[in-house]
Structure 1
Amino acid sequence: MADAEGRRVCGMPEKAQLHVAMLALQFGYAGFHVVSRLALNMGISKLVFPVYRNIIALCLLVPFAYFLEKKDRPRLTLSFAVQFFLLALCGITANQGFYLLGLDNTSPTFASAIQNSVPAITFAMAAALRIEKVRLDRRDGVAKVAGTLACVAGASVITLYKGPTIFGGPEAALGLLDDKAAAPNDLKNWTLGCVYLIGHCLSWSGWLVLQAPVLKKYPARLSVTSYTCFFGVIQFLIIAAFMERDADAWKFHSGSELFTILYAGFIASGVAFAVQIWCIDRGGPVFVAVYQPVQTLVVAIMASLTLGEKFYLGGIIGAVLIIAGLYLVLWGKSQERARLARESSRDAVVIPPDAAAGTAAAPIIRSAKLQAPPPLSSTTQPLLLPSENV
């Protein structure tokens, strides 16, 4: 971001544009959590909702993937098709399915809070598969491990301890709380909902880890996402064919139902995806990730105003632990990158030309270690925190 100050749009430097874009992105994702809960409150099927949402996302992604990645997109083979199918099973079907089941039994605020643990879970999975190295003799390694443990502890507190009500929330201040939403939460299973949300985070992290080797062989980010989205639609349609026998569930009964699906498809899966790719490309994945807790705060405010959501002591304690763990992991990753950059530059040895030979040959640069490859662009690497953008 060294040259960010030099690029201006309407008199605003690029650094300021990035911060504004990230704040807008968090508001967009926060609105998605609330809108999804409103959709469930209206009685929209948990299978029909993701089908329509991913169809909209697919229609938005395909044109960009086709025209922007003509030269970068390898030929589709059976092996790639199987990998895309598995990515869809993990990153869309299981991810979104567990999210809706968890959201239906808990609340938007706690769904957003638990999502802050995704970077830590991704790190743990990558370390278990030896993709990520863990050095406990360094500060960055200790920070990543401590952050992961804090996220696990926070998710455990939210799941196992609900606690007393800290804040009851206004009674549908904006008039969006219907009879079903106003019903007591005793009909919901809070612990089971949190387990579903943990499954959602595990699926999401698994998708990020599995996506990395696929992108090395198929370096076309938009095309990979489009194929994944396509297979996700197919999988949801197959599941819905067996489990959703009511044909009336596929119809829109009100403008509010239509709005929730359009918001999920266009804003959360289309506009947010484009904004996030630009922010990651210009600011880096860590810059994008540090804004994630802002989403939890915005969700809490929105859900309190629109849904009359209650806040429980266990959820607040768990959210604090998860957010602290998130920042520890991000700090560890940042320190690790800085250390590797220093070591790489220090290991490079400049050997001057042989003076006795009397030649004007240029200095030879030898390195004791292999130089790290240049970082991939945002369109050829998995996004760190994609939230619900697929």
Structure 2
Amino acid sequence: MGYEEWKPYILCVFSNICFAGFNIVSKVSLDKGMSRYVLVVYGYAFGTLATALLVLLFERNNKGKMSMAVLRDIFFLGLLGAVLGRTLYYAGMEYTSPAFASAMGNLIPSFTFVLALLCRMEKLEIWKVSSQAKIGGTLVALAGATLMTIYKGIVVISPHTRRSHEPAATSSKAFLDWEWIKGSLMLATSSLSLAAFYILQTTTLKKYPAPLTITWLMCLSGTLLAAIMTLIFDHEVSSWRLSWDISLIAPIYCGIMIYGVTTFVQMLVIQKKDPVFVTAFRPLSTILVTLMGLVILRDALHLGSIVGAIMIIFALYTTLWGKRKEKEKKLMENTNFEQGMESKLENQ
């Protein structure tokens, strides 16, 4: 494959590296006492500023026609992404952990696949190997992510830190904890919202093919909606105060790298591929978060994490193989159709 063929894969891997950093940075800032609502507002505000500059540089001469339908979609993108997606994600991560939140994020490919089927963006021909590969890959990825979360097993790598000898709570105890269950439900709802977010991005891009401008307007919509939500749920003036520490780094990173750059990059891939292809890479962030937890947070690496990671990699390869087979078959059908038309014209 040439560079253009590899480009969507490279961009998706880059996006998930950014998502892994997003999990760690967000969790540290929330643990330091930053309000989840304010973190969303500041994050989207920084994203708005960053993408506005990019629009002026690269899409200032965009001739796309802005319509009420596009503005409506942008409003719902802000609602799904900021108010429901990110706020519930932060809330769920506060009650659980970055690794668990990332693992729950692997529901996004499954939800996206189902929504794409309902919206007729994806075909499901259960008797075909390509469809079976996509379904199987999605289920195995979900199983691998779940395994990483609920099964620890023996310690394979244990950094010699203060944390390494502290008694760890067992997975059964965690799942009997009401706050853990509440966090899980929030993360599941966040995943469903973000899956709908990717589907809506696809339809909006078809109406208005200017990914940078859509990203900017989406960030602006998210900022305004998140600010209204914050005024309703967080009345503390002190929550808005930023310090020269992680409380400033977190919204800058989330705003520029996640809500700005990563959203734009994913829209570029959606234009070339589809939302199911983009979300199929999501399990990679679970592996990366686990590795970052090992290196940065000095968390121990257990056997369950290794086995789960192997399952996720296998599932990702299987899903992408199925997508590629479908693409090859479609190209073959188009080629055969064109050749048949040429033969008919020649015979006439």
TM band (smaller chain): 0.7 to 0.9
Distance 1:202 1:242 in 2: 24
Corresponding residue of 1:2: 2
User: Which of structures 1 and 2 has the larger relative contact order (alpha carbons within 8 angstroms, sep 6+)?
Assistant: 2
Q: Give the Å deviation of 1:252.
A: 1.7
Change (3 A) 1:237 1:312: farther
Alignment check: 8 A CA contact 1:47 1:240 kept: yes
Distance 1:35 1:27 in 2: 13
1:211-290 matches, cutoff 5 A = 211-273=201-263
For the residue of structure 2 that corresponds to 1:304, the secondary structure is helix
Distance 1:133 1:64 in 2: 36
Q: Give the Å deviation of 1:162.
A: 5.4
For the residue of structure 2 that corresponds to 1:307, the secondary structure is coil
Distance 2:186 2:154 in 1: 22
Range with greater deviation from structure 2 (62-71 or 298-307): 62-71
Q: Give the Å deviation of 1:87.
A: 1.9
Code of the residue aligned with 1:89 in structure 2: it is L
Q: Percent same amino acid at aligned positions?
A: 28
Q: Give the Å deviation of 1:270.
A: 3.9
Code of the residue aligned with 1:73 in structure 2: it is G
Larger radius of gyration: 1
Q: Give the Å deviation of 1:50.
A: 0.8
Range with greater deviation from structure 2 (286-295 or 102-111): 286-295
Alignment check: 8 A CA contact 1:56 1:266 kept: yes
1:198-209 matches, cutoff 5 A = 198-209=188-199
Match among 125, 128, 139 for residue 129 of structure 2:
139
Change (3 A) 1:172 1:235: farther
Cα-Cα RMSD: 3.8
Distance 1:286 1:247 in 2: 41
Alignment check: 8 A CA contact 1:165 1:310 kept: no
Match among 86, 104, 113 for residue 103 of structure 2:
113
Q: Does residue 1:29 correspond to 2:19, yes or no? A: yes
Corresponding residue of 2:62: 71
Q: Give the Å deviation of 1:133.
A: 1.3
Alignment check: 8 A CA contact 1:72 1:219 kept: no
Distance 1:199 1:114 in 2: 10
Q: Give the Å deviation of 1:291.
A: 6.0
Relative to the length of structure 1, the TM-score reads 0.72
Range with greater deviation from structure 2 (281-290 or 192-201): 281-290
Alignment check: 8 A CA contact 2:92 2:101 kept: yes
Distance 2:249 2:262 in 1: 17
Corresponding residue of 1:56: 46
Code of the residue aligned with 1:197 in structure 2: it is L
Corresponding residue of 1:295: 285
Corresponding residue of 2:295: 305
Q: Give the Å deviation of 1:126.
A: 1.1
Deviations 1:238-277 (Å, cap 9, x if unpaired)? 1111110110011024423212222222333445456666
Query: Gapped runs of 5+ residues in structure 2?
Result: none
Q: Give the Å deviation of 1:146.
A: 2.0
Distance 2:182 2:309 in 1: 18
- Normalized per residue, the structure richer in helix is 2
Change (3 A) 1:169 1:239: farther
Q: Does residue 1:194 correspond to 2:184, yes or no? A: yes
Change (3 A) 1:18 1:100: same
Report how many residues are paired. Answer: 337
Match among 138, 143, 146 for residue 148 of structure 1:
138
Corresponding residue of 1:351: 343
Distance 2:255 2:327 in 1: 35
Corresponding residue of 2:328: 338
Q: Give the Å deviation of 1:28.
A: 3.4
Distance 1:256 1:210 in 2: 32
Code of the residue aligned with 1:2 in structure 2: it is G
